[in-house]
A and B are shown apart, each in its own frame.
Chain A
């Protein structure tokens, strides 16, 4: 390679390396802030190296798994409460509105709302998170041992 090209190649590589490390350091510094949501254990035990706790009244997002058996619907309104869990403590979510189709017990969800008590959030938005696994129903049943049906919400009680 002739010296001029070599010089240009090094210049290009230096630019990529320089900007790469700048962006890398920035993202590293912002690490915690780019996360879309708190997990329930982060909310209770604090987040990051300083164990920073969110304050009451803070608007935040929380993501976790809906605890099976914790979903409690009002008979006469759209109010619903449920509990979220990841690996540690549970957090209670209160929500008024229509839940997404994929919402079910055991499903990962992300809720956005206000912290009203250290472990209670009043959500104004609930989003369902699905995983990266795709399979036909029969195989899901065989592999996971669960039958996936749309949950029925006390429809019988009205009849």
Chain B
């Protein structure tokens, strides 16, 4: 595995890998989100209690799951960056952070828009909502730490440490609805034993989650390519690339 992974520590190879992967991610994004949204918003049946307003689930749940998914991938990249001192992994942390922050913001905003008509409040300081808000601040923290240092090396290290420390928040978000009394309802789709959601609604939801995952991946890849070029802009391979293009 080392032999296979090691070449990607080099910026040029990583850049090429991004280029190879990007079309697949874009295709999956386009197909899944188109299918998932049309199916979910137009064809899935209305909920017995919430009628049509439950349909925001097809945006809220994927973005919330991906806000946590993006954070875990960012943290894994941060561990690789700190332990193996691989520059590309550090760039990946910075590439993922704003994408994850955007997902968290989408989850919070759609959640508020859903909460107002259903619960009767835009915002409640319950454990789930608060911990998700902290996740947003963690993303902001990672980004601003990176940019706060004149020296990108130490900035990167500080951002990586914060990213790793923030992982503690992920289980708290996930289990908040079980550990404490919250206004937010429990998890729907991780409850495999009982059918908490009807298959006619579950399928479009799963397709949307896959689409959002590919979307996060695609955006992160584009950003990673950019970061690599920024860092390597004086290297011959970048000059070659630019003069060719």
Which residues of A are interface residues toward B (Cβ below 8 A)? 5, 8-9, 12, 15-16, 19-20, 23, 27, 31, 34-37, 39, 63, 99-102, 110, 125-137, 139-141, 148
Contacts and interface: CB of A to CB of B under 8 A. Distances in A.
A132 B196 CA distance: 6
20 contacts: A5-B83, A16-B164, A16-B165, A16-B168, A23-B168, A31-B179, A31-B180, A34-B127, A100-B119, A102-B119, A110-B124, A110-B183, A130-B119, A130-B185, A132-B188, A135-B201, A136-B45, A137-B48, A139-B198, A148-B49
Chain A at the B interface: mostly helix, strand, loop or mixed? mixed
A16 B163 CA distance: 11
Given A100-B119, A132-B188, A37 B181 contact: yes
A128 B164 contact: no
B187 to A, nearest CB: 6
B240 interface: no
Nearest to B201: A134
Contacts of B83: 5, 8-9, 12
Contact of A12 (B46, B164, B179, B180): B164
A129 B183 contact: yes
B118 A12 contact: no
Interface string B70-82: 0000000001001
B59 to A, nearest CB: 15
Nearest to B198: A135
Nearest to B181: A35
Contacts of A140: 48-49
Contacts of A133: 188, 196-197
Given A100-B120, A134-B201, A34 B50 contact: no
Among A27, A99, A132, A137, max chain B CB count under 10 A is at A132
B206 interface: no
A15 B164 contact: yes
B23 interface: no
Contacts, number: 123
Contacts of B125: 36
B47 interface: yes
Nearest to B194: A133
A88 to B, nearest CB: 15
A148 B164 contact: no
B161 interface: yes
Contact of B118 (A37, A99, A102): A102
B79 A36 contact: no
Interface in B145-197: 161, 164-165, 167-168, 172, 179-183, 185-188, 191, 196-197
A35 B180 contact: yes
A141 B187 CA distance: 22
Given A12-B79, A15-B164, A129-B119, A134 B181 contact: no
A154 B237 CA distance: 78
